Structure 1
Amino acid sequence: MKKTLSISALVAAVVLAGCQAVNTTSGGAVGVDRKQYMFSMLSTDQVNQMYAESYQKTLSEASGKGVLDKNSAIAKRVQGVANRLIPQATSFRPDAAQWAWDVNVIDSDELNANCGPGGKIIFYSGLVEKLKLTDDEIAAVMGHEIAHALREHGREAMSKAYGVQMATQLGAAFGVGAGGLQLANTGVQYLMTLPNSRSNENEADLIGLELSARGGYNPNAALTLWQKMAQANESSPPEFMSTHPSSESRTQALQAAIPKVMPLYEQAKKG
């Protein structure tokens, strides 16, 4: 057991050595300042390019099916919210001003939305229609998704996946048996992967809250949004909820952060 644990520790140390500690954004009024570990050979530009190709494929497929929505009332509302939120991204990282931002709506019953690396935003009409989202609630969703892109959570997740892969290869090289290798992988996973998923969601909640407030959208809408999400989840879990768990702790964290961003909302309304 001691040998297996020491190998697990060695693997973790080697994996961490292949990463660099960064903070992709400034903390903002909400104070997000967690150090992130990024695989040194996986650059921001590489991830952005990889996602851009996947994004264009999604749009092409939607266009081919006649469901790429450019002119509906929902598409105009989503674009209008984006026009106000995107300029606020530079409050967290100035280089976002140079991103090739793009916003599209897909006509689908799917309850989903995302903003991929480099600022590629997709909303599915079902999310707005079925949950009867207000513009403030659309901003809460979009702010949350933009925050994932700003914090490069996708690149971070890929870095961790590479770490686990490296752990497997190193474990095999050290002659670790199947049981020992599983423990080594589990050790690295708990060290580098699992604790961060909740952290990433919390960061996206907080930064998204500030982005929407800076854009002039009522931050209290984040609370009603997640209430609607929870209600939708009772019948059939929406795709959006599969990676965005709603919980009492999430609501409490948002409630605690709202007073920090309310002055930004009040200032934006005056402007």
Structure 2
Amino acid sequence: MGHRHIWLVLLLAIFAAGCAATRTTAGGAVGVDREQTMLVSSGEVNRSASKAYQDTLRVAKSKNLLNRDPRQVERVRQVAARLIPATVAFRSDAPGWRWEVNVVTDRELNAWCMPGGKIVVYSGLIEQLQLSDDELAAVMAHEIAHALREHGREKAGQAAGVSAAAAIGGALLGGYFGVDSSLGQSLISGVGELAFMRPNSREMEQEADRVGVELAARAAYDPAAAITLWEKMGRVAGGQPPQWLSTHPSHASRIADLRVYAQRVQPLYAAARSSR
């Protein structure tokens, strides 16, 4: 077997070895139990996420934009303090993550939770939408749901998978069909991004919506607040989602789905309220 053939076999073996499907969370009452393919280790993703998170905090602090309003910061952290224990319904390890919650003063309508529980909420989201505590919980629960489902790791794996497929495909086209291997890699990578990467983003958003309403309900926040949240978002955005929602479902389809799942978790909300 020639060196080219050995290299190709090794690439195929490495790619196949990383394709085992896994379930990152319990399905919960909302039934989100899709198996996910993880091609990148959680350690790698957490290291990258930690660096990006620290960079964000450093820049915000240098501009005196980090945690400027103590009352607002306390409010956000109180919401997080109720949501975090409820994550055990989906992952037994999640309450023990090294959670951090910060607020950045910025008009941007934005919030995120990085892998491992690093949360940042932008003041513009709270102030421009005049969020109630239930609506703030809806935003944060949605972002926490992404972290619980390890969507960041899944997307990193998809990118790695596209790169591996491009390398393998380039070798096939170059080695067996006489096509320049770099051209083959470019062609396959482009097709992979369109056919593989983009459809998953909406699927992930729907999962985060559904897990998010259950997480909020278990923390005794009204899951129906997710509906009013996205109605507000639609009005502020003029029918177009803001940048952080650019790959999300349309407001109309999202609200229709949220109505169904918010109703489904109402018994959990009632039970959580009665136990407080």
TM-score by length of 2: 0.87
Q: 1:86 corresponds to which letter in structure 2? A: I
CA distance, structure 2, for counterparts of residue 227 and residue 150 of structure 1: 25
Tell me whether 1:264 sits opposite 2:268 in the alignment. yes
Q: Matches of residues 92-171 of structure 1 in structure 2 within 5 Å?
A: 92-171=90-169
Question: Quick check: 142-151 or 224-233, which moved more?
Answer: 224-233
CA contact (8 A) 1:229 1:246 kept: no
CA offset at residue 265 of structure 1? 0.5
Consecutive unaligned residues in structure 2, runs of 5 or more: 1-10
Task: Give the distance between the partners of 1:152 and 1:202, measured in 2 at CA.
Answer: 14
Residue segments in structure 1 that go unaligned for 5+ positions in a row: 1-10
Question: Any conservation in 2 of the 1:229–1:241 contact (CA below 8 Å)?
Answer: no
Structure 1 or 2, whichever has the larger Rg, is 2
Amino acid at match of 2:170: A
Aligned residue among 38, 44, 61 for 1:63: 61
After alignment, is 243-252 or 183-192 more displaced? 183-192
- 2:201 aligned partner: 197
Match 1:242 to one of 237, 242, 246: 246
Tell me the residue number matched to 1:3.
none
Shift of 1:45: 2.2
Counterpart of 1:8?
none
Q: Give, in whole Å, the separation in 1 of the partners of 2:266 and 2:218.
A: 9
What's the secondary structure of 1:69's corresponding residue? coil
Alignment-mate amino acid for residue 222 of structure 1: A
Matches within 5 A, 1:13-92: 15=15, 17-39=17-39, 42-69=40-67, 71-92=69-90
Q: Report what 2:236 is aligned to.
A: 232
Structure 1 length-normalised TM: 0.88
Structure 1 residues 15 and 188: alpha-carbon distance in aligned structure 2, compared to 1, 3 A threshold: farther
TM-superposition CA deviations, 1:7-63 (whole Å, max 9, x none): xxxx99984553220110000000001110110xx2112211221121111111111
CA contact (8 A) 2:68 2:105 kept: no
Which secondary structure state, in structure 1, belongs to the residue aligned with residue 120 of structure 2?
strand
Q: Would you say the 8 A contact 1:233–1:241 is kept in 2? A: no
More moved, 99-108 vs 244-253: 244-253
RMSD: 2.2
Deviates more, 1:120-129 or 1:18-27: 18-27
Change (3 A) 1:153 1:215: same
- CA contact 1:119–1:149 (8 Å) conserved in 2: yes
> Conserved in 1, the CA contact under 8 Å of 2:98 and 2:117?
yes
- Residues 110, 239 of structure 1: 8 Å contact kept: no
For 2:7, the equivalent position in structure 1 comes to none
Between the aligned partners of 1:61 and 1:32, the Cα distance in structure 2 is 36
147-156 or 159-168, which deviates more: 159-168
Percent identical among aligned pairs is 49
**Higher RCO (CA 8 Å, separation ≥ 6 residues):** 1
- How many residue pairs get aligned? The number is 259
CA-CA distance at 1:216 after TM superposition: 0.6
